[in-house]
Amino acid sequence: MMRVIGYARVSTGDQGLSLSDQCTKIRVHCELMEYDLIRIYQDKGESGRNLHRRGIRDAMFDLTGDDIDGMVITKLDRLSRSTKDWADLMDTFNRFDKKLVAIMDSIDTSTAGGRMV
């Protein structure tokens, strides 16, 4: 069973999914996929412009440990809106052999197609 953490973020101007909605989607997806969801990290009222957010920093720290296999998010833009930060995050996922699942973007890096994206 894959052990995962979740991550959800909303900025003050977001018109998309609320934190509660994102957490629900993450929980339901993990249940359907039979993932062991350990925790969901959240950043409320935080911009995706940079990684100076407590929730994402804590999530990435935990992700580098041996007991977590990957991260589940609702959409890619919840992690970052910066191309440089996105590349740094993906480097960390690859370096530590961790999986990323973006539910609404249909991306799962545990598959060949997901890694290609």
Residue 54 to residues 8, 9, 42, 58, 111, Cα–Cα distance (Å): 12, 11, 8, 6, 29
Catalytic residue among 11, 47, 82, 110: 11
- Greatest Cα pair distance, the chain, in angstroms, is 37
Active site residue 11: yes
> Can you tell me whether residue 20 is helix, strand or coil?
helix
Contacts of 21 (CB under 8 A, 6+ apart): none
φ, ψ at 80 (rounded to 5°): -165, 155
Just list the catalytic residues: 11
